[in-house]
Amino acid sequence: MKLLIATTNPKKIEELILLLNTPDVVPVYLNNVGITSLPEENGSNFRENAILKARFAGDKSGLWTLAEDSGLVIDALGGRPGIRSARYSEGPDKDRVLKVLDEMKNFPDDKRTARFIANIALYSPLDHSVQLFEGISEGTITYKPIGENGFGYDPIFYNLELGKTNASATLEEKNNVSHRGKAIRKVKKYLLNLSAV
């Protein structure tokens, strides 16, 4: 099965391809099908944004399409950065990390709870339907960046399942417990069942 990966984020593509690793799925990228941009993510939650991107790219390409929207939800900040995680401030990932750390500087350990949430939409060109899959990874926000791996908020997200920040883990370790890893495993199970029919 050819599966269009509807994202322009190279780091996200790398993780998704690694997680999707199965001989039954042949990844296709937006530039392979002449799609140069995705619609504005103006949904009210991760799920709506994932559906928006999957439908757009799936309708344009006529292919099975996977789109994902995810972000960091911090309880003390009322759920921010949430669906604006990638756009929480101008500039590179480092600037967004520093903004969160600044906003969290007065919160004690027990008020630093957070989670990464990933919603994946899988679009079928056969009937234009969308299946949804979710993964959640619980953790806390550190007081400073720790680790050199990963991307986004990984250096300040202490993953409770890992016992260290996402950025301190290898990609394989992170993928075993990450929000995206959990969601993708559900996608793979769905696709395997589909191919078995």
Average pLDDT over residues 32-59: 94
Whether 197 has a pLDDT exceeding 50, the answer reads: no
pLDDT score of 195: 66
Q: Token digits for 121?
A: 């939409």
Parallel/antiparallel/unpaired status of strands 113-123 and 130-141: antiparallel
Would you please indicate which residues are annotated as catalytic (active-site) residues?
Answer: 69
Q: What domains can you pick out in the chain, each with its CATH number?
A: 2-196 (3.90.950.10)
Q: Would the CA dihedral through 4, 31, 48, 142 be positive or negative?
A: positive
Minimal CA–CA distance to 67: which of 9, 136, 22, 114? 9
- Give pLDDT tens digits for 5-19: 999 888 888 888 888
- Give pLDDT tens digits for 115-149: 999 999 999 999 999 999 999 999 999 999 999 99
